[in-house]
Chain A
């Protein structure tokens, strides 16, 4: 093998490794998990799960109150009869949803920039 070949191989390896490492850093860093709130299919707002706050969501027939804590997002009040959304509790993993059917409200943890959760689906 000639010197030139060795240089080519070595630099390819170095660049390759750098890209791989860089890629994995990109994926693990800057994880900004967000909650997307849609009402009747329209995206109303996107909230970072690092933004610990309480806020109101205007549904199609009534109001919901959600809050974000270090453990995730939950609906803590809803003026609908079923209370399914309140009973759902707090969610924080990509793909998890809270739904209020009467109000057509869907809160979904966005999986942008986040590696896959440990399971592909959860039966409930």
Chain B
């Protein structure tokens, strides 16, 4: 009897060993991809659940945000605002997001500005009509760029107070969609998940083994696909804005899509990319653009005013600067880049 118990115990131990060997000790993961919504690719990976309807709900929410907030679709709420009417009634989501965008515009002294759309249209970066606009065209378009001319009224109404102006939530909608996805995960009791909305990452909870997630930051060089550093985070959004994604080249010069609202030209602040780490993906999305436009010093100043918000700035001489909290947890993985630790 005693012997058979011993054998049982050994077999059990062997079974556990086998189980680990088979599964590599990993919790089951489930992943799905959505192509097209918000002009990008969205991937959601859930751990420790087999309920695929959660991913379906997230993709429905992302598609819904796209339908309401796209500047390109003729029947979106944004298109109605841009058609020039006064007091256009929108959904609370759209209203709240515009309000959030205006807050960041205010905080960043207009470096992030949803009224940049007229300038973006002139450049046409990402379309076959991409070109360098003339100074006169830019000066004309810039007259219609000013976030202070977006007026929020009662009960979810929005007005644009200058004729011909228009807004585009492209610089913040992905971040917002990410936050909505996070709220769905929370409601459904998920503990570990990764959301990737076109490179906007939300590392939700911890990894299934309790360790923080390792999130790489893309090497900010056009045509390269690796990452140059890794940060380890739990329950944080990691959002990067850089020169490498949408651009066109003419006469050997690269014209990227992050416009400086005060010049109407691609931001030329000496940076290759800015990455923001924050609990709010909406905030991280808008701040990454704002900091990119502001440049290293003013961008760092802006972040120092924000709670629980960290940043990684890469200059065009491949120097990497971070907010103080990050210096100890960032790991550089590409020796072309140097981490500058300030005293």
Tell me the A residues contacting B by CB distance below 8 Å: 2, 4-5, 8-9, 12, 15-16, 19-20, 22-24, 27, 41, 72, 81-84, 87-93, 96-97, 99, 101, 104, 106, 108, 118-124
Contact = CB atoms under 8 A, between A and B. Distances in A.
B10 A9 contact: yes
20 contacts: A2-B3, A5-B6, A12-B11, A16-B14, A72-B225, A88-B225, A97-B33, A99-B40, A101-B35, A106-B35, A120-B215, A121-B215, A122-B216, A122-B227, A123-B200, A123-B218, A123-B238, A123-B240, A123-B275, A124-B240
A96 B227 contact: no
B196 interface: yes
Interface stretch (B18-26, B74-82, B155-163, B182-190): B18-26
The binding surface of chain B is classed by DSSP as mixed
Contacts of B240: 123-124
Contacts of A24: 21
The binding surface of chain A is classed by DSSP as mixed
B126 interface: yes
B252 interface: no
A27 B242 contact: no
B139 interface: no
A123 B215 contact: yes
A103 B248 CA distance: 20
A124 B174 CA distance: 12
A16 B16 CA distance: 10
B230 A8 contact: no
B126 A119 contact: no
Contacts of A99: 35, 40-41
B21 A23 contact: yes
A104 B225 CA distance: 21
Contacts of B242: 124
B13 A81 contact: no
Contacts of A22: 21
A78 to B, nearest CB: 11
Contacts of B22: 23
B41 A96 contact: no
B36 A101 contact: yes
Nearest to A27: B24
A61 B306 CA distance: 45
Contacts of A8: 6-7, 10
A17 to B, nearest CB: 9
Given A82-B126, A99-B41, A118 B13 contact: no
B199 interface: yes
A86 to B, nearest CB: 9
A82 B127 contact: yes
A-B pairs, top 7 by smallest CB distance, nearest first, are: A81-B128, A124-B199, A124-B218, A23-B21, A89-B223, A119-B216, A122-B216
Contacts of B11: 12
A91 B224 CA distance: 8
A120 B225 contact: no
Contact of B201 (A19, A88, A90, A123): A123
Contacts of B127: 81-82
B92 interface: no
Contacts of A108: 33
Nearest to B35: A106
A97 B39 CA distance: 15
Interface string B218-244: 100011110100100000001110101
A34 B200 CA distance: 25
Given A123-B239, A124-B199, 5 more contacts: A8-B7, A82-B246, A90-B225, A121-B194, A123-B240
Contact of A96 (B36, B39, B225): B225
B35 A119 contact: no
